[in-house]
Amino acid sequence: MMGGIFSPYLLAPLCAWLLAQLLKLILGRGQPRKIDLQRLYLSGGMPSAHTAVVVSLATATGLTQGLGSVEFGIALILALIVIYDAMNVRYIVGEQGTLITKLLTNHPDLKGVKAPKIIRGHTLGEVFGGVVLGVLVACLILFAQNP
């Protein structure tokens, strides 16, 4: 059992999140060569940080506790729920936010109503990028701890 601050169960998700957010900053949507620091904390974009975090946790758990362990089962189910939410629920909410904003700007009686914050979900490609990043980060951390 690995414990402490260098536990792969904490280190892998934290590193996966940090790398995903930095990649979003580098690969950000917008003008080339313009760095948008808001990309560090906004939802959506490539790769999915939510996915990278939960997949790195599931990978670290599966590789250390075994694929048949209760811990891996819990981590995998958690990862699947988060991935589903990132791709479906949050994506639909973002689409609805966009439509509501259009309605508010085009309807004369609603000019004073504040538009909702649009939360972007993830595309399949962004989620896949998060999966790959999560697996790689967990494997690298485990390899570094046990060469």
Separation of alpha carbons 43 and 30, rounded Å: 15
1 found inside a domain: no
Domain, as residue range, for 84: 8-145
For residue 63, being part of any structural domain is answered with: yes
- As for how many domains the chain has, the answer is 1
By the 8 A CB rule, do 36 and 57 touch?
no
Give the model's pLDDT for residue 81. 96
Region of 117 (left: φ > 0; alpha: ψ -120 to 50; beta: rest) is beta
Residue 3 lies in a domain: no
Residue 72 lies in a domain: yes
28 vs 40: CA distance, rounded Å: 10
pLDDT in tens, 79-119: 999 999 888 877 777 778 788 888 777 777 767 777 767 76
Residue 117 φ/ψ, nearest 5 degrees: -70, 130
Pick 144 or 89 by higher pLDDT: 144
Determine the angle formed by the axes of helices 49-65 and 70-84, rounding to 10 degrees: 170
Lowest-confidence pick of 14-23, 44-53, 73-82: 44-53
Whether residue 2 lies inside any domain: the answer is no
CA-based angle 72:76:80, to the nearest 5? Answer: 175
> Would you say residue 73 has pLDDT above 50?
yes
In the predicted model, is pLDDT for residue 32 greater than 60?
no
- Residue 69: both structure tokens together: 């362990």
The model carries a pTM of: 0.79
Cα angle 14, 19, 23 (rounded to 5 degrees) comes to: 150
